[in-house]
Amino acid sequence: MNLSKIQLEKIRVYLDEIGFKYIDVQMEILDHVASAVEEKMTEDPNLAFQDAVNQTRTSFGKAGFTKIEKSIVKGLNKKYRKLFLQHFFSFFGIKYIWAIFLSAFGVYQLQNLISNQDSFFAVFSLAFIMFFAIQAYRGFKPLAYKRYMVYKISGTYAGYFGVFLMMVFQAIIKPSTGLLFGLNKGYLIVSVLTVLFAVYYIAALKTEKEGVLESKAIADKLKLLYR
Amino acid sequence: MYIEFYIYLDMSTNNELFKGTLQTIVLKLLSENERMYGYEITQKVKQITKGELTLKEGALYPALHKLEAEGFLETTTEVVDNRLRKYYSLSRSGNKEMVNKLQEAKDFIAQLQLLLNLKPTI
């Protein structure tokens, strides 16, 4: 026998109440519990829905649900870490390496052109404010997916951008002196860090985008259910 | 090989022996059933082993998600019976992994037979 929409909703509400808030996590546990309940009720047609749920709940135990959630989180972390690293290192392949060197050269020349670290700091700060405005806009945009574990995990990398920025700031405020390969060491460090930051951020955004797409795919299916 | 594998599982009702071969079992079942969902896998194991072995969800899902994260499984989500259901299927690399893991299991069983002087029942 198949459970009705109302019965399924009761299981979903129960999962929500005991702390399984993420839709994609709920989805997988819900299907497993519902399948088990359906089987129990098919084997014993006199078994009431609530009794079947209680029996299933006992066989799972709260630890059972938590273990499933933990495995989902662990699996997603591994999957998205792999994706992020793939995106990050793809910039150092033949296809993009010229752009990396060209960008680093551009930042180096910009510092040379301004030739005053204070002015460069001002330009960099302006770029930072603009960047923050974009980041803030992005923060509001995907609210629709905040209840998806996959979205949360895929967005982790974009959240760490501040660490890189602090390193760049530090390099600008306290520039290294001297020459390295005949080039200004301070400018060189800032150039390399800025380009690495850009690559990191693009890779993080690409990773997040894949998480959004995965969340959207589930959200679209959910819409089909509740239309 | 498949029969041999389950002879080994049938010989032992100790689920501890299950753990090391869980991924191999999941991969093998998926290679034979194209795509399956979590509950279906637990029921299939129960059916094949005539209830001798129970695959608990607390063991199954970590194995499934690990295999998915490693790229051995692909997933699709569908609306079935008024709810969303996640189906697992083997990826191309998952097929290769299944062959490797099955060979490993076969070799291991052969070594066990030598060590414990077990005689095949078939």
Q: What is the pLDDT of residue B10?
A: 39
Q: What is the pLDDT of residue B11?
A: 37
Q: What is the pLDDT of residue B13?
A: 47
Of A62-66, B42-46, B49-53, B85-89, the least confident? A62-66
Q: Do A8 and B82 touch (CB under 8 A)?
A: yes
Cα-based distances in Å from B48 to A123, A197, B103: 69, 54, 20
Q: What is the pLDDT of residue A8?
A: 95
Picking from A39, A74, A224, the nearest residue to B65 by CB comes out as A74
Contacts 24+ apart (CB under 8 A), B102-110: B102/B1, B102/B5, B102/B24, B102/B27, B102/B28, B104/B24, B105/B5, B105/B21, B105/B24, B106/B1, B106/B4, B106/B5, B109/B4, B109/B5, B109/B8
Distance between B81 CA and the closest CA of chain A, angstroms: 7
B64 contact residues in A (CB cutoff 8 A): 71, 75
Q: pLDDT digit string (tens) for A185-225?
A: 888 888 888 888 889 988 998 999 999 999 999 999 988 88
Is some CB atom of chain A closer than 8 A to the CB atom of B85? yes
Residues 6+ apart with CB under 8 A from A127: none
Mean pLDDT along residues B104-116: 88
Distance between A146 CA and the closest CA of chain B, angstroms: 19
Mean pLDDT along residues B102-114: 90
User: Is pLDDT at A74 greater than 60 in this prediction?
Assistant: yes
Q: pLDDT digit string (tens) for B70-80?
A: 999 999 999 99
Q: pLDDT digit string (tens) for B18-37?
A: 777 899 999 999 999 989 99
Q: Do A74 and B62 touch (CB under 8 A)?
A: yes
- Domains of chain B, by residue range, sit at 2-114
Between A62 and A21, residue with greater pLDDT: A21
Between A121 and B41, residue with greater pLDDT: B41
Q: Would you say domain B2-114 falls under CATH 1.10.10.10?
A: yes
Q: What is the pLDDT of residue B1?
A: 44
Distance between B60 CA and the closest CA of chain A, angstroms: 9
- Domains of chain A, by residue range, sit at 5-72, 91-226
Q: pLDDT digit string (tens) for A155-176?
A: 888 777 777 777 777 777 777 7
Q: pLDDT digit string (tens) for A83-132?
A: 999 999 999 998 889 999 999 898 888 888 877 667 777 777 777 777 77
Phi, psi of A131 (to 5 degrees): -65, -40
Size of interface A-B (CB pairs under 8 A): 89
**How does residue B121 score in pLDDT terms, banded at 50, 70 and 90?**
low
> How large a percentage of chain B has pLDDT more than 90?
57
Mean pLDDT along residues B1-29: 63
**How does residue B42 score in pLDDT terms, banded at 50, 70 and 90?**
very high
Between A140 and B111, residue with greater pLDDT: B111
